[in-house]
Structure 1
Amino acid sequence: MAESMLVNLFGPVLGLVVLWLLPTMNRRTLPFGIRVPAAHADAPVIAAQLRTYRRWILGAGIVVVAAAVGLTYLLPLPVAQGIALVAVVVVWLPAFLRARREIGTVKEREGWYDGLRQGVAADTSLRTEPVRFPWLWAVPAVLLCAATAVLGIVRYPDLPPTLVTHWDLDGTPDRTMTTTVGSAFALVFVQVGMTALLVGLMWASIRFRPDLDAAAPKVSAHQYRGFLLATAKAVLVLAALVDVSMLVIAWQMWGGGARLPAGVVILPILVGTAVVIGSAIRTGQGGSRLPADGEPGAGTAAEDTGLVQRDDDRYWPAGSVYVNRADPAMFVPKRLGVGWTVNFGNPKGIALFAAILLAPLLLTVVLR
């Protein structure tokens, strides 16, 4: 039961931690996804909404975790996991939307952008002299995929006619499959596909359009380059650690050793996730928390063009969905947390986003 509890709580606890930390990752000028001028980044309404949001996430999160513990005793594990994850979203969404509404209301009422010169900034050198992708950081993930494949090839001639593909939490096999190349190497295919997807996305992200600060374009461009490298390295570390977990699962399926507790299998994934979250907190959105030109604390105050970043909230309904038919970019930096999101006003972006989502499902269908 303790192992079942650990597996059931993993997703909700991780989700609540990320949601509590989410405002820390955002730019000071993008509280809860609302664009504000730097002069109003410390407005009382923003500080008040941040306190309210975090208190709500903490208090409601304790209730969700307690409920998840109870559900472990009452429902099958997959059902309990699903309910707990949905509960996390249900808890977060009203608190987030309330904070956005309150900040947006004060912003409009007090005219925070009145009389300000708005603008946008671009860095063409990101195309002409792009950041060098850290290929060496991808080597561990690639080697782990190769090691898993080699071990599978070595083990395959001695595999029994039927493979155990799943165990319940007390170690009893509860799902089997006839031994074929597809079933024996299913995890290898998934491992290779997942690694290729993460490496490919990180490589492509170097060419995504950044969200530079119009008040300090040179500084923010420098910070963005640091953000690209740090994020790519963190995600490649995550890919390697996920591959470790999949190697362990595959080895157990091939009968290479005793079944390890679920906590041991999940641990590499947990460590990799912590690396990504830590990198996101250290860099901030687009590198906004990184030092400027190697000088800690210099920040955007070292440069001032007299402009403020354009108020583009109208393109961000709900703060996390970007819809701009006039924008040719397929992917743009997120307004919440760290990373990129699709431009739902661009048909090519929607098609690529759908392909990324459908790829794991299609792989599963093919393997079956």
Structure 2
Amino acid sequence: MIWPVWLRLALIAFIAAAFGSAPALARPTLPFGVRIPAGRTGEAVITLVRRRYNRGIAAGAVVACAVVLTGWTTRIDLVIAGLVVAYSLFGSLAHRSIATAKRDGDWYAGTRQAVATDTSLRSDPVRPQWILLAPAVALAVVTAVIGLVKSMANFSTVLAQVLLVVLVPLPAIAISRARPEIDAARPSGSASRYREYLHGVLSLLLVSAGCANATLLVVSLQLWGLVETTVPVTIVAYLPLLAAFIAWIGFSVRSGDAGHRLSPTADEPENRYEQRDDDRHWYAAGMVYLNRNDPALLVHRRVGTYWTLNLGHPIAWLVLAAVAVAGVLAGFGVVNLPIKGG
């Protein structure tokens, strides 16, 4: 399938915007995944690195658009893959530059590092609002009933809906019990922000399951030949997923990385402590975490609005093995994925 030029250009613009906005959404004390003291956030080297990174993002987008417009290749997947690799390299170089300046300048000299926690997150945790999963369950039931009434043989989409209903609660429970992001410099304010952030993430996760099942309902009707596979119907089918996607973007922009943009419930003066967070346990510019001495299974990434597994935890490898097995089974056709036309 050859995508129209305007759609390929729009995809390039989206990738560039996603990578370009990431540093702006990051916590001030974590520029490009490097933990720094709050008093060093205005360092000239950070401003310079940001400027170079933004120039690289713009240059990459221009080159990719030129490739598309000149018709050098119609393989938009190769263009996007090259763009993502280039942008990831720019981010890695920015991370290395700030890490080097931090090390050479001994930015933590004279500071007192500490770790803060909110015990109320254990005694009074942020619980998922399970009622938000009700639409996903109802849509799965409706789809199954329609399939049974019409005596359909292919129930792959219904299986996908059921899997969503069963599997989505698992990350919701895990995230609600993940290690909280509490800033030792402002423990009370950061704890209230994290609570609000966690509540928003859990709610969006459950609502997104309903949006996905709404899309699968329409896809099922197309698959079974109960509605025509026309462009308008296909657009309607994917509108719920688009709505969920826009909601996630809006939430990410409003809350920022780990909710640092949210307003705390009360004013709190900054104390003399700095957040303790050892760089030695973080890899791939703050996206991969490995610490065998940390009992936490899930930790919030230094980069991005999501969590990552602690690869130093034995259960993390069991989870990765299960995902790998499921991928292999799907690749060999043992597990059938929903495909239009049967």
- Shorter-chain TM-score category? 0.7 to 0.9
Secondary structure of 2:249's counterpart equals helix
1:361 deviates by: 5.4
Matched residues in 2 for 1:128 and 1:355: separation?
32
Partner of 1:170: none
Aligned length: 332
Given the alignment of the two structures, is residue 284 of structure 1 paired with residue 262 of structure 2, yes or no? Answer: no
Structure 1 256/194 Cα, relative in aligned 2: closer, same or farther at 3 Å? Answer: same
Matched residues in 1 for 2:5 and 2:158: separation?
28
Matched residues in 1 for 2:126 and 2:328: separation?
32
1:340 deviates by: 0.4
Given the alignment of the two structures, is residue 89 of structure 1 paired with residue 61 of structure 2, yes or no? Answer: no
8 A Cα contact 1:210 1:286, kept in partner: no
Matches within 5 A, 1:223-262: 223-261=193-231
Given the alignment of the two structures, is residue 342 of structure 1 paired with residue 309 of structure 2, yes or no? Answer: yes
Matched residues in 1 for 2:212 and 2:82: separation?
26
Partner of 1:164: none
Which segments of 5 or more consecutive residues in structure 1 lack a partner in the other structure?
160-179
**AA partner of residue 238 (structure 1):** S
Q: Which moved more, 1:223-232 or 1:147-156?
A: 147-156
Partner of 2:244: 272
Partner of 1:316: 282
**AA partner of residue 219 (structure 1):** G
1:74 deviates by: 5.9
Q: Which moved more, 1:352-361 or 1:325-334?
A: 352-361
- Which of these residues, 295, 306, 330, is aligned with residue 272 of structure 2? 306
Given the alignment of the two structures, is residue 108 of structure 1 paired with residue 103 of structure 2, yes or no? Answer: yes
Which segments of 5 or more consecutive residues in structure 2 lack a partner in the other structure?
338-342
Summarize deviations over 1:20-73 as a string: whole Å, max 9, x none.
Answer: 2211221111111000111111222222222222232233124335545777x9
1:8 deviates by: 6.1
Matches within 5 A, 1:120-269: 120-156=115-151, 159=152, 180=153, 184-261=154-231, 263-269=235-241
Partner of 1:366: 335
Structure 1 194/13 Cα, relative in aligned 2: closer, same or farther at 3 Å? Answer: farther
Matched residues in 2 for 1:286 and 1:259: separation?
41
Q: TM-score, normalised by structure 1?
A: 0.81
Partner of 1:41: 41
Structure 1 303/61 Cα, relative in aligned 2: closer, same or farther at 3 Å? Answer: same
Q: Which moved more, 1:187-196 or 1:334-343?
A: 187-196
**AA partner of residue 176 (structure 2):** I
8 A Cα contact 1:231 1:280, kept in partner: no
Secondary structure of 1:366's counterpart equals coil
Secondary structure of 1:138's counterpart equals helix
Matched residues in 2 for 1:266 and 1:8: separation?
19
8 A Cα contact 2:113 2:275, kept in partner: yes
**AA partner of residue 246 (structure 1):** L
Summarize deviations over 1:64-91 as a string: whole Å, max 9, x none.
Answer: 35545777x966xxxx354244223212
Q: Which moved more, 1:267-276 or 1:280-289?
A: 267-276
Summarize deviations over 1:175-194 as a string: whole Å, max 9, x none.
Answer: xxxxx4xxx11011112213
Structure 1 74/48 Cα, relative in aligned 2: closer, same or farther at 3 Å? Answer: closer
1:213 deviates by: 0.5
Secondary structure of 1:341's counterpart equals strand
Summarize deviations over 1:138-167 as a string: whole Å, max 9, x none.
Answer: 2222222222222222222xx5xxxxxxxx
**AA partner of residue 335 (structure 2):** V
Secondary structure of 2:317's counterpart equals helix
How well do the aligned residues superpose, as a CA RMSD in angstroms? 2.6
Summarize deviations over 1:78-136 as a string: whole Å, max 9, x none.
Answer: xx354244223212111101111111121122221001001111222212211121222
Structure 1 352/2 Cα, relative in aligned 2: closer, same or farther at 3 Å? Answer: closer
- Which of these residues, 318, 321, 328, is aligned with residue 351 of structure 1? 318
**AA partner of residue 230 (structure 2):** L
Give the percent of matched residue pairs that are identical in Structure 1 and Structure 2: 36
Secondary structure of 2:289's counterpart equals coil
8 A Cα contact 1:322 1:344, kept in partner: yes
8 A Cα contact 1:18 1:277, kept in partner: no
**AA partner of residue 313 (structure 1):** D
Summarize deviations over 1:204-237 as a string: whole Å, max 9, x none.
Answer: 2100111211111111111111011111122223
Summarize deviations over 1:271-319 as a string: whole Å, max 9, x none.
Answer: 31121121112112221111011x6xx5xxx233321011411111222
Q: TM-score, normalised by structure 2?
A: 0.87
Partner of 2:340: none
Secondary structure of 2:146's counterpart equals helix
